[in-house]
Structure 1
């Protein structure tokens, strides 16, 4: 039935099993964001139309057909799903078609899993994938307390400590003067002069000062000049900064924020949620059947992303190779990067083609998969199937803008001003109470 050896993708580099009489097989596949089902004209097909798939799926089957010397036609699953084990022991979706021997194989991409391996055969893997969260980016916002950011917390603490040290020096050193120096008491003046330097104001009553006082206060003025210029320059830069929230970096964040999760129905992911005994997967498993978890078909993900995910009420939890098509497509339509991917990833799993149990296709499919891994073809197909494939990768959480200064930028400073007025009013009331009490005596 086989003739072996024959040349492979590159002459004399590896060997592929080939069928001698070019048999015909049925291949099952379904739409993904990076592979679309299309009907093409074919006079030999029933109705003059033939189902085919664009993207990596079509490329894989072209290689398989050429290297294994076979013909194929596509069949889509009636329920439009990939396939999971049902409660009655049967399988649905594409896997159900293969197990029922209505189809011979599927190019995938299928996550490898133990339950599937008991009834089906996997080829060698051709790419690794992970599950990630896709969520809507927050809108650029201004930090109203940005006037505190030009200096770090430690610098603010050191500045206050230095102010206290200068005040102490100005108060203690006069006690070392000779008794007959006739030095007038300037305690309040010295304290307020140190504070006035901190706020870049002039100093008063300097006549009759000793040179040590002039030197101590002059050094403090030099330090504050440098600090003030640094603060002013950094503040001007920070007022042009906008912060963009990326709050959902893990599944724990999603549950804590009460956001709903969209999951593709009937995929390899569901058994992990249902069978998990602890951890975050167990928590999500407990939510299955509630409105907290929403099931969608794969081809419904792009429309869901543009609606309920964009408004912030839902997030997607799916394989990262789907996002590699959805995000560039969305950017090409809108010119914006409105979504981000979480830092946390889950379930790193190899992806492979699937056939019937003990299929004669496996040796040839293994060779095709190995070549795709060695050459990086599948990843290349993903990145080249759409323009702008890397435009929305590694999005910044902080951006700079050029705009007028608005109240939203500085209301934190006015809050400090109002707080100062409130404290001064409380002190005024307290002083009046004290004065009235003294007069009453």
Structure 2
């Protein structure tokens, strides 16, 4: 059950074993007041009998609790008012519907029915002490673990190896044309591609680089170090989650 603002004291202080109902503040708030109660048919807690579209009789655990509270604290209550849309209350397009919307709009003062406690609802209404809890749970499949590295990242790594290998091959060939006698290094793109692949997978191969190509290779190797460390940490997290 939930109530709005001052209605919270009505239910919470009465259902609290430590509250004896003799607090003058409690009496000033609720004594002689008239509350409009909203509810939804939910046997055996709320049983609403209708004659046509009109409510002819209401009964149930919650109805009897409200009647007992009204007698003890000397207030009156309008019979159960169901929401026009039949909803409990959800935030849709920035506005509340159902019984929660009726409370916010001032159409009712108290909601007396089964209602789940959610964070959005707790921001706009106050919940009392629950006198009964439903043990029913909603079960969902265990979420699948995300891939350690997405396919787009792998495609980007492979493309970067091709592009860097082509750039290195072009630079080496240009440098070879200028310094043919003193040039030491590869002029094709495939040796560089193979080196970049081995540097990423198993760095145990060394080839000769010219001075101009070393800067490009050093920059790519720095990126490879960051990628390998990120992949290792993500893989370790996945193993821990599976365990």
TMscore range, shorter length:
0.3 to 0.5
Query: In proportion to residue count, which structure has more strand?
Result: 1
TM-score normalised over the length of structure 2: 0.47
